[in-house]
Structure 1
């Protein structure tokens, strides 16, 4: 049974050409509508099962916050429906539920009651809330004297003082310091492992991959993707690049059976990629083997500069290593139309841990593919690292290491 069921959800705001048109519509209720409906979200449908962790991603203005506000009941939908089973704890906006002139202590009880907790329950858990927030004597000072990070500390502590059935977090943790973010993510993971359903909005790919087992991409108010976090985030990268330059997004089926996203304006294109061990093409190497990655390129327009990059990811889609010719100081200058060239990345020892990996390649100008993206080929090839002659180890990296004993 779904804990959250969203069906054909849409939200529209009224847009009036003038103040007079607004007044006429108010005072002449039987007349013709004098506004235009501005849809910020439409046709969104999905189910979330109990205990599932779902990341909501998308550009600013994509409808992420609107979606969460409708689910929590703070905003009404224009069409569609939301069915929720269980108690919700939500952290939607900085300071939401806090009064700036009340002390932190008073706001704990006020915000806690808005979440449905009794005064007796809040008194029972107050010491835990205060200890987790770690704001010291400021607990008895007005909230208007708090920094944004202190407000997040207290708001998160109140929202998570008692494990909810559903936890909704909307980017608020991004303003907290690194220490509290780490502490908060640990609590979120604890709740998730205990069966709490999680809806998490973030612009951090690492946070979404770490906390969530599913991701939903909203683009201009429409649900563009719903699937595994690494695949949805790959498509999101293509959406970001699309905003910078006109391009096509092509989905190709990679050898691994997963969707491979390719995007770019085709000013230069990748014709072929290869992984070599010695002089032989290879897709399985031992830990520490020397390898080379070759990229064959065709130039379709005159270019002042061309950067080639590669990115290695593990089987979960987490970034392991990436660099490009810009950072290596070897980018090409002044390329001409119809020119063909090859770039080769060499590593004397591929010190990756045992497992499966993918390699993505990009052609662009400057230091990043977001601007002037010519060709970005995600998961262009997949390879496997098998054990070598060294000691057994776990993890994504294999570090040369020795150990010895001595008396103390």
Structure 2
């Protein structure tokens, strides 16, 4: 229970040149079609096994929400088929199924029945729903008086009141406070451990990479890429910059990782190295070692402004630390064609043991989305070992100092 199969899925809407053409098609049988089909999704194929988590990403208008609506059955596909095993709970449009004039409690009963729950079952789950939503007395107030965050709290609490076989979550979780978002993702992780299959649409890189096993990228209604969450998110970031007529390519490295490179090519990386305290190139460093990231850049043409940034990521692709010369107030102005610049970032590798990668960015301003000269993921990969420091857990070495004070009781002091 809990598998999802999508085969050859497509969705098209009819477009008429005017309202009279629509009317003529209705009232004149067997006449030629007076509409054109506007395809919003075409030839979508994927399968999710029980307990898997799939992330769905893409720019606005790529077809993400339409795909989820077809999977949940609120929209019928034009072509292809969908096969789902198990009970489905979905959190799509914020407050979908809620009536503004009814109280939160009344809406819980209505929404619960839409999910296939009986009245007695909903009544039994009501205390848990109230406790998780944490909206207090508003539970008995009309939903129209709720903020968007309160609507999301109640909708999520109802949708997850009983563990579903398949849980589908759209961008609704992006609404509301950070506390409830953390609380919601904790529940999602608990469901995953218990065997719930998850489909999640989000632009949050951390959410996709920390929860999902795989990800798919939708672009102009088609499945553009499917793979590991980090690879797909890297390609998505590069694709956003591609709007400025930049190139995007991917390379598979010797360690199996996929490197994404994008940019206009007006400036690029010539050499990238991680140096130890003696100036030697290294790939393995000790926790707390003094190292230097040295990057050589060449301008292919004259560029008005040059900003270099780097980001250290752990083996799961989560950002550990990132900075650029714009934020440091060290951006270079008017770099001439053929000019080479050597950047040296010296820092203490206060990192836990494990594998790390460095992503590099050359751009005009703070964001690589504004004139991206070159963006390179996995520009450099290195390994951190811990031999000299106490064994600790995590990516950050805080080198904490410990003091302990014991206050002996009178009985012990007399002995």
- How does the TM-score come out when normalised to structure 2? 0.95
Which residue in the other structure is 1:383 paired with?
382
Partner of 1:346: 346
Could you say which residue in structure 2 is the equivalent of 1:234?
Answer: 234
Give the corresponding residue for 1:127.
Answer: 127
SS at match of 1:328: coil
Tell me by how many angstroms 1:86 deviates.
0.3
Q: Hey, what's the Cα distance between the residues in 1 that align with 2:179 and 2:217?
A: 28
Query: Which residue in the other structure is 1:70 paired with?
Result: 70
3-state SS in 2 of match to 1:341:
strand
Partner SS for 2:380: strand
Taking structure 1 as the reference length, what is the TM-score of the superposition? Answer: 0.97
Aligned equivalents of 1:295 and 1:96: distance in 2?
51
CA contact (8 A) 2:263 2:375 kept: yes
The corresponding residue for 2:188 is: 188
Match of 2:287 in 1: 287
What is the match of residue 311 of structure 1?
311
Partner of 1:262: 261
Residue correspondence of structure 1 range 1-400 to structure 2 within 5 A: 3-243=3-243, 245-277=244-276, 278-347=278-347, 349-400=348-399
- Further displaced range: 8-17 or 165-174: 8-17
Q: Provide the rounded CA distance (Å) in 1 between the counterparts of 2:179 and 2:333.
A: 43
Indicate if the aligned counterparts of 1:273 and 1:380 stay in contact, CA closer than 8 A.
yes
Per-residue Cα deviation, 1:116-136 (whole angstroms, up to 9, x for no partner): 001111111111111111111
Which consecutive aligned stretches of 4+ in structure 1 deviate over 3 angstroms post-superposition? none
Preserved CA contact (<8 Å) 1:363 1:376? yes
| Partner Cα distance (2:401, 2:268) in 1 | 45
Segments of structure 1 that go 5 or more residues without pairing to the other structure are: none
**TM-fit CA distance, 1:107:** 0.8
Once the two structures are TM-superposed, the CA of residue 34 in structure 1 deviates from its matched residue by 1.8
Once the two structures are TM-superposed, the CA of residue 407 in structure 1 deviates from its matched residue by 3.1
Q: Deviations over 1:7-33 (max 9, x none)?
A: 011111112222222222222232222
Give the Cα–Cα distance (whole angstroms) in 2 for the partners of residues 130 and 301 of structure 1. Answer: 62
Which one is further off, 266-275 or 48-57? 266-275
Tell me if the contact between 2:210 and 2:316 (Cα under 8 Å) persists in the aligned partners. Answer: no
- Deviations 1:310-358, CA, capped at 9 Å, x for gaps: 11110111111111111112111101122222212111x1111110001
Q: Secondary structure at the residue paired with 1:309?
A: strand
Per-residue CA distance 1:126-167 (angstroms, 9 max, x = gap) = 111111111111111111111111111111111111111000
Measure the CA separation in 2 of the matches of 1:172 and 1:401. 39
| Separation in 2, partners of 1:219, 1:234 | 15
Q: CA deviation at 1:2?
A: 7.4
What SS does the aligned partner of 2:75 have?
coil
Asked if the contact 1:355/1:384 (under 8 Å) is kept, the reply is yes
Provide the secondary structure at the position in 2 that maps to 1:261. Answer: strand
Q: 2:410 matched to which residue of 1? A: none
3-state SS in 2 of match to 1:224: strand
Cα RMSD of the aligned pairs, angstroms, is 1.3
Contact 1:254–1:380, Cα closer than 8 Å, also in 2: no
The whole-number CA distance in structure 2 between the counterparts of 1:2 and 1:47 is 11
Aligned mates of 2:22, 2:301 — CA distance in 1 = 52
What runs of 5+ residues in structure 2 fail to find an aligned partner?
408-415
* The 10-residue stretch of structure 1 (388-397 or 24-33) with the greater mean CA deviation from structure 2: 24-33
Q: Distance in 2 between matches of 1:18 and 1:163?
A: 47
Structure-2 separation of matches of 1:323 and 1:238: 19
Structure 2: distance between partners of 1:356 and 1:119: 52
Deviates more, 1:59-68 or 1:294-303: 294-303
Q: Partners in 2 of 1:2 and 1:250 — Cα distance?
A: 35
Give secondary structure in 1 for the equivalent of 2:13: strand
Aligned partner of residue 326 in structure 1, secondary structure: coil
Greater shift in the superposed pair: 13-22 or 171-180: 13-22
Question: Residue 180 of structure 2 aligns to a residue in which SS?
Answer: helix
Range 251-260 or range 188-197, more displaced:
251-260
